[in-house]
Amino acid sequence: MSNRVLQDPGLPARQPTASYWQQPLHSGLSGIQSTSLPTNRDVVIIGSGITACSVARELLQSHRDLTLTVLEAREVCSGATGRNGGRINCVAVLDYDKYCQKFGKEAAAKIVRFELAHFDRILAAAKELGLEDFEKSEVREVGTCAAVFEDEQLADLKQKLANFEAAFPDLQGRWRIAEEKEAIETFKIPKAKGALVGRAGAAWPYRLITSIWASLLTSHSISLTIESNTPAMNIRRVEANADYPYAISTPRGIVRARHIFHCTEGHASHLISGLRGIIVPRRGEMTVQTPGSQFHQKNGACSWSFYFPHGFDYLTQNARSGELFVGGGDVGGEEALMQPLGIGSDAEEIITAKAHLAGVLGVVFGLENTGDPPKMRASWTGIMANTLDGVPLVGMLSQAALDRPAGDRNSAEWICAGYGGYGMVNAWLCGRAVVKMFSGEDVRDWFPGEYVMSSERMKRLQEKLEKVKGSQMHLKALL
């Protein structure tokens, strides 16, 4: 396992597990390709999920004269975005505590506010699509209930909430503690000791992002092309070609570019070899289940998390069908969390996680609140990405990350990846930030400095990697 996190994650698997979110594929984007691969482009984006979509949208809105090509190894939005939990959920109270320990109070507060900004930004982007596509995207606000099952966990939640409200007086009351009686009687979790209750967002992520891509193609038909089933296999920098120094090899030929944006999450280090061991894929399991006949929620207005002493599961209900999207299953403690690290293939399922998820709802809610147990309709896996210092990598790639000559602001490679499973509250605005950096704009007033992929940060990451490479400490650092 320790060697696996240092290996090339490879290209996305050709025959992935079938994600329920992607059924059916978007009729206008399925198999989309130009008749012939474009030759010279100002920008090539590798990947087509939420990050790539945000980058493309921002570039096309702010630089209308750019030519832009998207290279996707499989179908559009077939990776992590089309495989996630459907939640736009920043558990700000817990995140503030986590980032305080890593970076201090000031940095933690900035990261949390950045994450919290995502729901409103994504909602606004969805509304711009028009009523039909907005309704298909199912972007909506929901209540959240993060339940705990031990007295010590509840006491810990209360202390973290107190610390959070002291740091965010303007957000007091946005989250609250539901005591044991309320958790049992209102939220129907009979074994819970209490819960952290608040608000969050939910969406049908595949429909949202493919609808935005389709809209961009309509409004930028001359400047934008999307090349599905066209993996980027190799990148060379040819200095003799001053206008388009980058040569990106694909099975359909070579496309040359002035700038490259890597939006490939768990597969990022396939083409950026200097990041192996620094950004690492992690496989996760998702399911869709039909609720039991007596399940108390019918309208999709709530999202749940279940925090066990050694792991957690999460659940969002579809507002129309009532189906339950349930993910997680990593409940065996630290060792179980390490097992999926370094796995870049979504062609196989995690049997232990699937078995756990198949039974967890009947246990957590109790048969008295579900009637007959929920039944599994579909299951699949997706590939996330964890980083060695626990936050995304956003910015221009320096020479230390590359096995080819690095560029400069006139022609460079850029990265936006490494969300640790929390892409829906990071990716959209990270995409915006990396384009602002590309444009030479200052993002320091709103973008977390800890996310910026500076030369100094790269040096720190390399030094840390050398100390822990291939060890148990390496695996722990990636959790």
Average pLDDT over residues 137-151: 97
pLDDT in tens, 271-304: 999 999 999 999 999 999 999 888 877 688 899 9
pLDDT in tens, 340-379: 999 999 999 999 999 999 999 999 999 899 988 899 999 9
Average pLDDT over residues 117-130: 99
Q: What was the pLDDT predicted at 300?
A: 86
At 39, which amino acid appears?
T
The model carries a pTM of 0.98
Residue 474 sits in the same domain as residue 433: yes
Q: What was the pLDDT predicted at 231?
A: 99
Last residue of a domain, one of 357, 382, 407: 382
* Nearest-5° Cα angle at 373, 368 to 375: 155
DSSP letter (8 states) at residue 408: B
pLDDT at 2 over 90: no
Average pLDDT over residues 138-144: 97
**Count of C-beta atoms within a 10 Å radius of residue 19:** 24
Q: Is the peptide bond before 373 cis (omega within 30 degrees of 0)?
A: no
Last residue of a domain, one of 360, 382, 404: 382
107 in any annotated domain: no
Q: What was the pLDDT predicted at 330?
A: 86
189 confidence band (pLDDT: 50, 70, 90) = very high
Q: What was the pLDDT predicted at 383?
A: 99
The answer to whether 449 and 473 have CB atoms below 8 angstroms apart is: no
DSSP letter (8 states) at residue 351: H
Residue 267 sits in the same domain as residue 408: yes
CATH code: domain of residue 251? 3.50.50.60
Pairwise pLDDT comparison (389 vs 1), residue with the higher score: 389
Residue 344 sits in the same domain as residue 425: no
**Count of C-beta atoms within a 10 Å radius of residue 34:** 12
Residue 31 sits in the same domain as residue 60: yes
79 in any annotated domain: yes
| CA atoms of 356 and 86, how far apart (whole Å) | 20
Which residues are bridge partners to 198 per DSSP?
A: 144
Q: What was the pLDDT predicted at 334?
A: 86
pLDDT at 175 over 80: yes
**Which residue do the tokens 């640790």 mark?**
420
Q: What was the pLDDT predicted at 249?
A: 99
109 in any annotated domain: no
| CA atoms of 5 and 343, how far apart (whole Å) | 8
Q: What is the span of the domain harbouring residue 410?
A: 4-83+206-280+388-478
242 confidence band (pLDDT: 50, 70, 90) = confident
| CA atoms of 113 and 90, how far apart (whole Å) | 10
Sign of torsion, CA 245 7 227 37? positive
pLDDT in tens, 67-110: 999 999 999 999 999 999 999 999 999 999 999 999 999 999 99
DSSP letter (8 states) at residue 26: P
Residue 73 sits in the same domain as residue 165: no
Residue 262 sits in the same domain as residue 184: no
Q: What was the pLDDT predicted at 331?
A: 84
Residue 189 sits in the same domain as residue 323: yes
pLDDT in tens, 304-353: 999 998 889 999 999 999 999 999 998 888 888 899 999 999 999 999 99
Residue (of 136, 126, 142, 111) closest to 53 by Cα position: 126
46 in any annotated domain: yes
Last residue of a domain, one of 334, 350, 382: 382
The strand pair at 176-179 and 194-202 is best described as antiparallel
Q: What was the pLDDT predicted at 296?
A: 79
Q: What was the pLDDT predicted at 299?
A: 82
| Number of domains within the chain | 2
Residue 169 sits in the same domain as residue 243: no
Q: What was the pLDDT predicted at 76?
A: 99
Average pLDDT over residues 199-213: 98
129 in any annotated domain: no
pLDDT at 155 over 90: yes
Q: What was the pLDDT predicted at 395?
A: 99
**Count of C-beta atoms within a 10 Å radius of residue 217:** 17
Whole-number mean pLDDT of the chain?
Answer: 97
16 confidence band (pLDDT: 50, 70, 90) = very high
Pairwise pLDDT comparison (173 vs 334), residue with the higher score: 173
Residue 371 sits in the same domain as residue 287: yes
Residue 358 sits in the same domain as residue 421: no
**Which residue do the tokens 């997680």 mark?**
328
The answer to whether 12 and 263 have CB atoms below 8 angstroms apart is: no
Residue 244 sits in the same domain as residue 319: no
